[in-house]
Amino acid sequence: MSWDNITDKFSSVGEGVGRFAKRLFGSENEREIKRLTPVIAEINELESWATGLDREQVRAEVEVMRQSVRDGKATLDDVLTKMFALTREASQRTLGMRHYDVQLVGGFVLHQGKIAEMMTGEGKTLMATLALALNALSDRPCYLVTVNDYLARRDAEWMKPIYEYLGLTVGSIQSDLDPSSRKPVYACDIVYATNNELGFDYLRDNMKTSLGGQVQKDLYFAIVDEVDSILIDEARTPLIISGPAEDHVGRYKEADTVARALVAEEHYEVKEKERMASLTEEGIVKAQELLGVESFYVPGFEDWPHYIENALRAHSLYELDKEYVVEESEDPHTGMMRPEVVIVDEFTGRKMAGRRWSDGLHQAVEVKEGLEPKQETQTLATITFQNYFRMFDKLAGMTGTALTEAGEFHKIYELDVVSVPTNRPIARDDKIDTVYRTLPEKWNAICDEIERVHGTGQPVLVGTASVDNSEHLSKLLKDRGVPHEVLNAKNHEREAHIVAMAGTKGAITVSTNMAGRGTDIKLGGNFEYMLSNALEEAGLVEGDLEKLDEIAAVRERVEKESEAAEAEVLALGGLYVLGTERHEARRIDNQLRGRTGRQGNVGETRFFLSLQDPLMRIFYRDWVVNAMERLGMSEGQPIESGMVTRQVARAQKKVEDRNFEIRKNLLEYDEVMDHQRTEIYAARQAVLEGENLRDRILIMMTNLVDRTAGIFEGDAEGFIDWCQKTFDVEISPAAAATAVSPDRPSVDSVMETITARYDERREEWGEKLTERIESYLVLTAIDQKWKDHLHAMDALKAGIGLRGYAQEDPKIAYKKEATELFAANLLPAIESDVSSKILRIEVGQPEGERPADRSGEAAPGGDQLAPRGIGQGAGRPPQGGQPGADGQPEPKKIRFDELTFDQQKQFIHQLDANQRLTLMAQMPKELRDPLIEAFEPAAVEQHREFASGLDGNQQLSLLAQMPPAIRGDLMEHLGSEGAVKRQDFVKTLEVEQQLNVLAQVPEELRASLLPGVEIEKLQAFLKGLDLDKQLTILVQIPADLREAMTPGLDEEIVAKIPEAIQQFEAYKVQMAQQQEAQKQQQQQQMRGPAASSAFDVMKRQKMIEEQRRRAEEAARQQAAGESSTVEANEAQASGTQASGTQASETQASGTQASGTQASGTQASGTRTPGSGPAPESRPSSPRPAATARRPAAATNAVGELGPEFKNAARNEPCPCGSGKKFKKCHGR
């Protein structure tokens, strides 16, 4: 008897004993439900009282209870029965739905901070309103956490009338909300949001530099919908906010080339269970040969195995339309549409836009799909769901499948699970699994079954495990002519419609897990969906308190239609759910089954499996093969065997146990990080909340001085120099000697001097400026050093597993070394950074206003702290490292885009209107647009006042430079009066200048100028030019201006305009292509002579083979008795030739490209057909030119230069066209 059989028998005995004890004593869950009976009875007694209140009286009662809780006169438990009764009455009046008694039980369980397990379809969404409305009386935010944006938005809008009837506010957080829009949502009494958005907002809040930018103020009460999915399934993946790291994009491409050349089993092995791929010894040797690397285990090449194994994982374990999809998305930097790899959630089947695999895996998948890999990232902030949700004062949850994981909920979250009874008995028929031998047999049987059921009119929901499987089944059904709908991550936009109609007669819906958890499929069609359509047709809005009677009439009509359609589907047997394979967790299968048989309705479920399904193949490969032989299965023959069902359940249990170990391991590793994160974030928050930092900074300086004094033990002179450099303070020799004394050292005297200087500076700055300087320095130090610490922690975690080979527990080693990193590295680094800057920082005090310089480093007006060297003092300070006025080196400047968003926002709001607008005009779009959205109303008003005070010329210049959003606001504010000013200015210009101005300003600004311009004069000016010049101007001016001028021109000119425009556009494309080619050639040269556009592996390999061949030839010559000196010289010459050949080719091609571009620029006055020289008033406009390539450096067979170089003078331009002097190019 096998060990598995023995454990099965013991398990069955234990289950039998448990069932006997349950019958004898009753379960703890049943006793808990019975204890709630008096509370439910009291709520029902209050129903008549609640019914007698009108809307205003209901709100008054709620306000009275809220005030009593606020004043401490009553607790939430004291007002629970009344609030539950009022909430049920509000639901009945606004949505026509009355809470059942079992939903009251569930609401009470949620209020107690427990998990309510309710069967699917029992109304968990409505049940949650009871606990949320009650806890909102505490004036602290209450959160309803869902698994995706769709459910957050749907549930918030659906339940909104209930809350508003009670006088409570509600909102939903969506992933596309910008920071400024999130704050008012978080200010609501009740907030619906996804777990990801809440977690990321928490991390973002702890990266903000001001309290005003934070959105999550209080983590009080949260109800987690589908709690097993969020707190168990998704808990394996930590939330990470990352920033750019070192760029090794080229290595991903080269690693992908190597991975494609390797052979499975021979060069690498794939472990599907662990989702890993590793090189074998033969694979390492082969990869080294392909890369031209002597060994991966010498400095500079040790990272290659990591890149190659990531590429192998991408090719072997990550499949398109299963783990990810490729779709077009907008590039945030360029605004262009480009293909992108989007991860698909394995549990929900939904796309997770913005999420990326870490550790270089995402880049490997991008290269596999032929996309340009994005830059690598570095962790800036991270937290796990376990630690995030454990921060809430009270946490509750609800799901249909929680009891199987009750132990984990209690151990990690201290949450008890209470199973709430159903309102009606379950009538669903769960058929036994049908198992086939191979996948094709299973798919054929599934199609046969769908056709059979569809013939009866019974609606069918088919659940698949991946996007790929859903599309495969859809293709099979299309081939058979079976009408159906497909719901997966690729067409999620139609989700609401597909789900709403999935329960109608004859409907067939093929879906991934998107139609599983949280999806309510109503028989006969979704009532709310039908009601919404009916109300829209009638011109009504649900929840409109002024038209409740009209809404009620429409609802009554739709209810009758819905009931008739539901009765028809029930007569056919209800919804038929067909599963195409078992998922890793039994809970997901149960969620799929739960889509039918809701609220006591009839329904039917069945799973079709094959012995080649991934779950069986990965975990029971040998057993599957033996089972096929023992059962003697023939093609197309199904089996319904308890043995197979038990093996499937056992495989799922193995997966669940393995995933639990992963979650447990993740939590244990993260406990260390959680303590550190809590300490750092608490210190950071104290700074934001205005803590007096003087004492804290003095402690930092004392610690730094104390540590450094130990380093300079016995070296008083060196310690004095260090104090001078670090604090800009002169320390007396006696104090220094005492500090570095080997016997009884003391830094008290040193700190007295430093403290006195510190207090002097604080007095010079004043109270407000001191607060800003201190908070800025402390926050900057914490953020920068915390980021470095996270990088070090990532590196520690990546290599800690190797400690196992030294018989050391990796987990214990990680905790020990992580604690040492925090105490010995991070905290001293923060102290050193703040202490070394606080007495040396300079504060700018410019004399008068100074406009921002055009380098992107804006200059503030008035006294202020200059963040990281930006805008320090009047005039342009020396660059970093150069001496300033006092002879001391100035702090090194950094670019504006290196500041955090909050630092940027804080900085620009310190500027006056002129400076701010100038900076906006110079800033890149990706930096500028978020800042414009974050403008405070006062800043916008300053812009308007500034623009109003300008004359027509100044207004025109300002508006032409402004981004569209600012330009539109200013033009609207200036109105017709401003337009007249600008028109009057244009009238004062010469006709040629008028044309130049009109051609260069934006279209909306040009439209405001044209009414004041005499078009006839512009046309007369054009007619005075020859034909070519007229065409040149017409093809280069904007289309709207050209259309305004065309009517008065000669027909001959008008006829030639389209052809000239076409030639001009072709010229622009040609120039763009040449510039791109030149750029690629220059990049290729910069990467070195052995590289191509993607570090061409094969060329490098050929080069090594050529070197090896020449070395062998030299060895043969030596063996023949030749002189060793001659042989060495030949070997050196051959090596030089081999390594230099490719470089010469690269240089020549790069030179040629440069010559092409140069000739194009110089020939800008050359006329092409239909064109002529540009008018002098538009010298910046490029002319279409017939560019001719200059010849590359021509050499003969012996490497001599061609004849065109013979007479070239040393100081003249080189004939190759490179633009360099001959003596510095081919004259060498």
Q: Using an 8 Å Cβ cutoff, are 569 and 458 in contact?
A: yes
What's 1221's DSSP letter?
Answer: B
- Concatenate the DSSP letters of all residues of 608-653 into one string: EEETTSHHHHHH-HHHHHHHHHHHT--TT--B--HHHHHHHHHHHH
Residue 520 marked ligand-binding: yes
Residue 936 among known ligand-binding residues: no
**Distance between first and last Cα of the chain:** 86
Which 8-state DSSP code applies to residue 546?
G
Q: Which residue has the tokens 């001391």?
A: 888
Q: What is the DSSP string of 127-168?
A: HHHHHHHHHGGGSS-EEEEESSHHHHHHHHHHHHHHHHHTT-
Rounded Cα distance between 840 and 829, Å, is 17
Give SS3 for 517. coil
Q: How are beta strands 417-419 and 115-117 bridged, if at all?
A: parallel
Sequence-separated (6 or more) residues with CB below 8 Å from residue 144: 128, 132, 152, 155, 156, 190, 191, 192, 193, 222, 223, 225
1160 in helix, strand or coil? helix
Cβ–Cβ < 8 Å for 923, 852: no
124 carries a ligand binding annotation: yes
CA nearest 1033: which of 837, 1177, 1190?
1177
- Alpha-helix residue ranges (DSSP H) falling in 317-374: 361-368
Listed residue (727, 750, 728) closest to 739, CA to CA? 750
CB 680 within 8 A of CB 782: yes
Q: Which one, of 449, 424, 355, 405, lies nearest residue 588 by Cα?
A: 405
Tell me if 1192 sits within 8 A of 1144, measured CB to CB: no
Q: Which two tokens stand for residue 251?
A: 């290595």
DSSP secondary structure, 72-94, as one string: TSS-TTTTHHHHHHHHHHHHHHH
Number of helices and strands in the chain (H, E): 48, 23
Please enumerate in sequence order all residues whose Cβ is within 8 A of that of 781, keeping only pairs 6 or more positions apart, or say none: 829, 830, 833, 834
Q: Is 1085 known to sit in a ligand binding site? A: no
Q: How many CB atoms lie within 10 A of CB 1174?
A: 18
CB 963 within 8 A of CB 928: yes
Strand order in the sheet with 324-330: 324-330, 337-344, 351-352
Q: What is the b/e burial string over 916-937, where b = at least 16 CB atoms within 10 angstroms of the residue's CB?
A: bbbbbbbbeeebbeebbebbee
- Tell me: is residue 121 an annotated ligand-binding position: yes
Annotation-wise, does 869 bind a ligand?
no
| Cβ count near 825 (within 10 Å) | 14
Which whole-number Å values give the CA distances from 51 to 39, 55, 57, 82, 94, in the listed order?
19, 10, 11, 12, 13
Query: If you compute the radius of gyration of the chain from its CA atoms, what whole number of angstroms results?
Result: 37
Sequence-distant (6+) residues with CB within 8 A of 347 are 229, 233, 234, 513, 517, 588
Q: Which helix (H) or strand (E) holds 380?
A: strand 377-383
Distances (CA, A) of 53 to 59, 136, 1032, 1045: 10, 21, 80, 72
Query: 3-state DSSP call for residue 325?
Result: strand
CA separation for the pair 931, 960 (Å, rounded): 19
Annotated binding site for ATP: 103, 121-125, 520
Annotated binding site: 103, 121-125, 520
